[in-house]
């Protein structure tokens, strides 16, 4: 069996981050470095505007610094747009590759797999669950790299402005690094439950729609409604709990974001009053500290996106991790030329529940001949026509078990 037929279900989500056009990723990295450099310039301009242009009442310096500030903001915005475009292209390319490879794999799966699988579940996997993984791949390079470099740049700038004030403001991060991952782990558990129950939900819905004639014919409306309502209520509770943990992460992050300026106002104001910190440096420090939480929040968002995408991706690949029973196409040989006749020998079939539908079936059907299968519902007609054809040896037109 060819390795490429099953490779898709064995690949990790992170492996897709390193696939694709390397030139596109290199351009993305270069753009990220340029963006981080440009984002530091407005901070320095703020300090110089207060300490030099305003205090010295130098209008020319004010125009120059404001011009540099505006140019840096515009350039940073343009670079941010380029980054968004590149990561969108990378993500959509990865998503398209995932869907193509998984579809090729699904088409090779045994017919028995599809007898136990609802079409709605397959559709949901391709449309929704893989889309989450593709979105993560798109952001997996740009956002973490931009955030880490921004954190390093802003941290270095803050230490350069005032080491004491910078170290005190950083003291809150160890607490955040303990609380946020703990909440994320709980969110991951609920997310796994959500993915699993969503599949049951989709499968039940597809089963009811495809079998609506049986439901109406047997007056099974109340029974089906009860089954569906149980799934809906279960999914509702899981989604509420999952979203509570997700919101808890955001609320905690926002608290840390708002608490740090309080420390800066208190300690920075004291240092400025006592002449140990310039007013322009305090203004620049506040701006840098505020910007410091942007990459911090983006890293948290990427971490959340990775956890959610990882759960969906792993669940999807585990579900389709079924080896094909035989090659769909011949390898290293021309196709066999069959005469069209069919010979069945000792064909038996027992369901997973222990019901024997076929028992030692033998018959011969010449090329061009016709055979009628007659029997009551559930007697094994479809099984003989479908499973029997599935078990052929592909060489002598002989079907056996």
Q: What is the pLDDT of residue 11?
A: 86
- 172: which 2 tokens? 């809150």
Q: Virtual CA dihedral for 174, 176, 182, 183, nearest 10 degrees? A: 180
- pLDDT at position 330 is 67
Query: Contact 88/131 with Cβ under 8 angstroms?
Result: no
How far is CA 382 from its chain centroid?
39
DSSP string, 117-151: S-HHHHHHIIIIIHHHHHHHHHHHHHHHHHHHHHH
Residue 300 and residue 248: Cα distance in Å, rounded?
12
CATH class of segment(s) 3-319: mainly alpha
* N-to-C CA span, the chain: 21
The whole-number pLDDT of residue 31 equals 92
CA–CA dist 355, 193 (Å, integer): 32
Question: Which residue numbers in the chain have pLDDT < 70?
Answer: 1-7, 177, 257-258, 260, 290, 326-330, 378, 386-401
CA angle 175, 178, 184 (to 5 degrees): 130
Considering the chain, tell me which residue range(s) the CATH 1.20.1560.10 domain(s) occupy: 3-319
- 364 DSSP β-pair partners: 343
Structure tokens at 244: 């509570």
| pTM of full prediction above 0.95 | no
3-class state of residue 378 by DSSP: coil
* Tokens at 394, concatenated: 């592909």
**pLDDT at residue 4 in the model:** 42
Question: CA-CA distance, 206 to 216, in Å (whole number)?
Answer: 15
């Amino acid at each position: 069996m060819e390795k490429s037929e099953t490779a898709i279900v064995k690949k990790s989500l992170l492996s897709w981050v390193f696939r694709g056009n390397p030139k596109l990723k290199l351009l993305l990295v270069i753009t990220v470095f340029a963006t981080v450099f440009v984002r530091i310039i407005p901070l320095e301009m703020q300090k110089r505007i207060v300490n030099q242009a305003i205090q010295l009442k130098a209008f020319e310096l004010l125009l120059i610094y404001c011009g540099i500030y505006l140019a840096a903001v515009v350039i940073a915005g343009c670079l941010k747009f380029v980054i968004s475009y590149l990561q969108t292209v990378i993500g959509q390319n990865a998503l398209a590759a995932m869907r193509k490879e998984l579809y090729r794999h699904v088409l090779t799966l045994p017919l028995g797999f599809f007898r136990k699988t609802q079409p709605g579940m397959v559709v949901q996997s391709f449309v929704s669950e893989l889309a989450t993984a593709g979105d993560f791949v798109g952001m997996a390079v740009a956002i973490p790299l931009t955030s880490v470099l921004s954190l390093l740049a802003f941290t270095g700038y803050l230490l350069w402005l005032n080491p004491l004030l910078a170290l005190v403001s950083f003291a809150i991060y160890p607490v955040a690094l303990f609380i946020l991952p703990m909440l994320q782990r709980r969110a991951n558990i609920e997310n796994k439950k959500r993915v699993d129950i969503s599949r049951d939900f989709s499968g039940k819905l597809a089963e009811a729609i495809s079998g609506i004639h049986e439901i109406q014919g047997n007056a099974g409306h109340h029974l089906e409604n009860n089954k569906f309502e149980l799934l809906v209520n279960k999914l509702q509770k899981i989604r509420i709990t999952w979203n509570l943990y997700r919101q808890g992460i955001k609320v905690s992050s926002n608290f840390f974001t708002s608490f740090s300026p309080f420390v800066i106002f208190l300690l920075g104001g004291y240092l400025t009053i006592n002449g140990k910190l310039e007013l322009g440096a305090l203004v620049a420090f506040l701006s840098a500290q505020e910007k410091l939480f942007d990459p911090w929040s983006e890293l948290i968002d990427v971490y959340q996106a990775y956890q959610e995408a990882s759960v969906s991706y792993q669940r999807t690949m585990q579900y389709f991790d079924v080896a094909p029973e035989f090659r769909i196409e011949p390898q290293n040989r021309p196709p066999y030329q069959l005469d069209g006749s069919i010979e069945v020998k000792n064909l038996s079939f027992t369901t997973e529940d222990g019901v024997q539908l076929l028992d030692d079936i033998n018959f011969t059907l010449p090329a061009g001949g016709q055979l009628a299968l007659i029997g009551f519902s559930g007697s094994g007609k479809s099984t003989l026509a479908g499973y029997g054809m599935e078990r052929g040896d592909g060489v002598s037109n002989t079907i056996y078990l």
